[in-house]
Amino acid sequence: MLSSNAGQRMFDRWSRAGVLLVRSMEQNEILSEKILRPVAEAHTLCAFLALRGRRYRGELMVVGRAVNGWKEISPIEMSSPDRRRQFVNAAGSVQNDQCPMQWVLDSWGNERGYNTARSAFWRVIKDVVHSCATETESDWPSHLVWSNLYKVAPSEGGNPSGWLQQVQFEGCKALLKLEIESFAPARLLFLTGWAWAAPFLAESDVSPTQHGTHVQAKGHWPVGERRSNVVVASHPQGKPHREWVCEVLAAFGATPAPAA
């Protein structure tokens, strides 16, 4: 017979699993009905759902502006509720039981196509992860959650236009809030610049701050009884790598890991 404490722990685990399942369904519904449906008249686009690494334990969640090429969806698919939902369900699945963030390592050093090793975005994240998570070793992407402000972008790459940002904004804002509540990161890093992130941070106490050259805002995002430590930094493209990383880690109160 289970003790009362053991029974309570089992009940808590079941309750937590149930909450995560409901939130996952809510995320899919928001992407399908509040983001994809309003852009059904657009050209072929790509759509994105946040990815959680297999070894993520709440250490770090990173947020970019928009995905630069991802799973494509056509106007025909976007105009049909059933096909939208089929697309969203497929977008959130992972083949061969693989870590959803494995693609970052698989693309590292690619000679053809997208090379994550040449991306300032992924190079700085690698160093931040090594300083914020323990035992990262070679599988560092598996320790983080990756998301973007805007979930739909042009299929050929690049950030969404002003119109495309406007029509999906409310859905993207609701989806980001749900993601943060579901993943409950101790540290939440926006690699977007303050101008891009500010409209999404109205429910937080994040505000602009003078913290070096690259950190543009700091604060907290409430997650239940806890708070995520939030840092908003400039996009790292063209910035001094080590300087950018050290400023972000100092804003988080973390110590930089030795340079690789």
* DSSP reduced 3-state for 68: coil
Name the least confident of 22-26, 28-32, 126-130, 173-177.
22-26
72 assigned to some structural domain: yes
In a domain, 260, yes or no: no
Residue numbers of the domain that contains 8: 4-252
Q: Report whether pLDDT(260) > 80.
A: no
In a domain, 259, yes or no: no
pLDDT band at 81 (very low <50, low <70, confident <90, very high): confident
**Residue 138 resides in a domain:** yes
Average pLDDT over residues 173-184: 94
pTM: predicted TM-score of the whole model, two decimal places: 0.82
Confidence band (pLDDT; 50, 70, 90) for 111?
confident
Distance, CA of 256 to CA of 258 (rounded, Å)? 6
Q: Output the pLDDT for position 228.
A: 92
State the pLDDT confidence band at 7, using cuts at 50, 70 and 90. very low
The answer as to whether 257 is a domain residue is no
- Residue showing tokens 């657009």: 42
Which is higher by pLDDT, 96 or 161?
A: 161
What is the Cβ-side half-sphere exposure of residue 112, based on CA atoms within 13 angstroms? Answer: 0
pLDDT band at 18 (very low <50, low <70, confident <90, very high): very low
Q: Which residues make beta-bridge pairs with 154?
A: 45
Mean pLDDT of 116-129: 95
* AA letter at 249: L
CA 174 to chain centre: 14
pLDDT category of residue 21 using cuts at 50, 70 and 90: low
State percent of the chain over pLDDT 90.
Answer: 50
- Is the distance from CB of 60 to CB of 190 less than 8 angstroms? no
Looking up tokens 């972000």 gives: 248
Question: Across the chain, what does the average pLDDT equal?
Answer: 84
Q: What is the pLDDT of residue 75?
A: 72
Residue 258 lies in a domain: no
11 has pLDDT over 50:
no
Would 8 be classed as within a structural domain?
Answer: yes
CATH of the domain at 122: 3.40.470.10
Q: Rounded to whole angstroms, what are the CA distances from 84 to 31, 130, 178? A: 9, 37, 20
- CA dihedral sign of residues 48, 173, 130, 225: negative
Judge whether 158 and 151 are in contact, CB under 8 Å: no
CA separation (Å) from 78 to 6, 50, 70, 84?
47, 19, 16, 5
pLDDT at 61: 97
Q: Which two tokens stand for residue 213?
A: 């050259």
Looking at the structure of the chain, the number of domains it has is: 1
